[in-house]
Amino acid sequence: MRVLLTNDDGIYAPGLLALHEVFSEDSVVDIVAPVTEMSAVGHAITLSFPLRVQEIKRNGKFYGYAVSGTPADCVKIALKELLNEPPDIVVSGINPGRNVGMDILYSGTVSAATEAAFLGTRAISVSVDDRKDPNYGFAAQVARTIVNFVMKSDLRDGTALNVNVPGISPDRVRGIAFTRQGLSRFEERFERRTDPRGNTYYWLAGETIVENGSPDTDFVALKNGMITITPIHYDLTCEEELERLHHGRLPSLDRLIPP
């Protein structure tokens, strides 16, 4: 099996190294990751500047390619240009901090996986619900288990799996759950501060608000000690609303549309 590893925390991130150590045991591993941290860039790609790629060594041996772009850039250039052979699967992570609910829309970690799915390659994203001292080793083992499952499954084209691991000791993890994306969101506020020269600047802050506490959602299942697997895709169409709109015409447009 050939695995492409990427992330949004940069090529030197410990979560990426943990994945490399685990998958290198029985797979051919390629790494293409951002040269610097790219957290919360979503699915952005670079259009106004050239992408620069450099080879990175670790302990004197080739480790991977560092790209001066976003996670989505990394997946694109890996699959289209850098790799001599296509990967069987793309694994993005391991992110320190969960990616559930509305976080998914902002996450560079998740967007790397959806970019791979968009390009026709199996993909998973992996995050740990612990920013201070994440257990990357355990999460990497979880990732390999799920990759083995994916390789034996028939995922729908364009689908990626978003995986979140609880930030608790492995012996307290209750199991694995297939979940749907919840409606948890970040209630934002800006902290206004003043620098030594008297200039105003702002830090984004806030707290997570759970709008749907159903146990089958990613946020709730994760908090209940479950490893969550959420199938996601890049088609953002609201099918129910589309069907409703098909059954009527917006009154304000009647005079603009010929009979």
* CA dist., res. 70 & res. 4, Å (int): 16
Task: Give the DSSP H/E element, type plus range, for residue 72.
Answer: helix 71-77
The Cβ-side half-sphere exposure at 36, using a 13 Å CA radius, reads 4
Report helix, strand or coil for 241: helix
Quick: pLDDT tens for 50-93. Answer: 999 999 999 999 999 999 999 999 999 999 999 999 999 999 99
pLDDT at 154 over 90: no
In a domain, 199, yes or no: no
In a domain, 218, yes or no: yes
> What pLDDT score was predicted for residue 243?
87
Q: Which range of residues forms the domain containing residue 75? A: 2-182+213-256
Task: Give the DSSP H/E element, type plus range, for residue 194.
Answer: strand 185-194
Quick: pLDDT tens for 230-249. Answer: 999 988 898 888 888 888 76
Q: What is the pTM of this model?
A: 0.91
In a domain, 205, yes or no: no
In a domain, 163, yes or no: yes
What is the count of structural domains for the chain? 1
CATH number of the domain to which 31 belongs: 3.40.1210.10
* φ/ψ of residue 214, rounded to 5: -65, 140
